[in-house]
Amino acid sequence: MSYVYVACTILLMVYAQIVIKWQVLGAGQLPEDAAGKAGFLAALLLNPWIISALAAMLAASLSWMAAMTRLELSHAYPFTSLAFVLVLAASAVFFHEPVTWPKIAGIVLICVGIAVGSQG
């Protein structure tokens, strides 16, 4: 069950990142002046999708705490790097961001690192 909590943590983190990017894209660019920035960010904080993303991050934290009751941190934490892999894939699908060879090489290195770092 502990690995289910780790997987939930990762999926909730990815959901939050994708939703925030989606809503920020729709909101436009951050204004230059301080008052404009404050208003822009306040409006985003009141956006129901952003609220759902923040709730997902809270739920991810709770799920992580549950996982930490049974797993060693040094064993479980490398798995959170899978969020990078999933965010790259989701950003390509949803935002048509390019998947370049350097990004692919980075993802391969992350996966190798997870395999090595999660041993013992």
| Tens-digit pLDDT profile for residues 36-50 | 999 999 999 999 999
CA distances from 100 to 23, 89, 92, 105 (A): 25, 11, 10, 9
Model confidence pLDDT, tens digit, residues 21-39 = 999 999 999 999 999 999 9
Average pLDDT score over residue span 45-61: 98
Q: What is the pLDDT of residue 75?
A: 86
Domain residue spans of the chain: 2-117
pLDDT band at 120 (very low <50, low <70, confident <90, very high): low
Asked whether 115 and 44 are in contact (CB, 8 A), the reply is no
Tell me, what's the pLDDT at 74?
Answer: 86
pLDDT on residue 115: 84
